[in-house]
Amino acid sequence: MMQIKISDVLGMLNNGNTRKEIQEHYGLNGVEVKTLFSHPELKGKKTKKKKELSFIIVNDVTGQEAPTPTEENTDTEEETPVAEALPEVEEEPKTAWE
């Protein structure tokens, strides 16, 4: 009997493999692939599409290529919490009709 690891299937989805490709990889029929993806860890999981850019960003100030954002390294700057980013606004007095 064949064993299919959840981590392997998740890895294939993250690498861009579709359910059809996973089905072919393991030699599963339609009922088997449906049963596989009904597992709680796989339910609702989708193929991760890799976003390829048609250009490379070059920093012409230093002449070095800038790292191209990928799914793993899109956060190049530290994120500012929303509370810090928004200016403080004092509440306006309510009018009689509010």
* Measured distance CA(54)–CA(50) in Å, rounded: 13
Scored b (16 or more CB within 10 A) or e, 59-69 reads eeeeeeeeeee
If one compares 76 and 25, the residue with the highest pLDDT of the two is 25
* Digit-coded pLDDT (tens) for 2-38: 999 999 999 999 999 999 999 999 999 999 999 999 9
Residue 61: pLDDT band with limits 50, 70, 90: confident
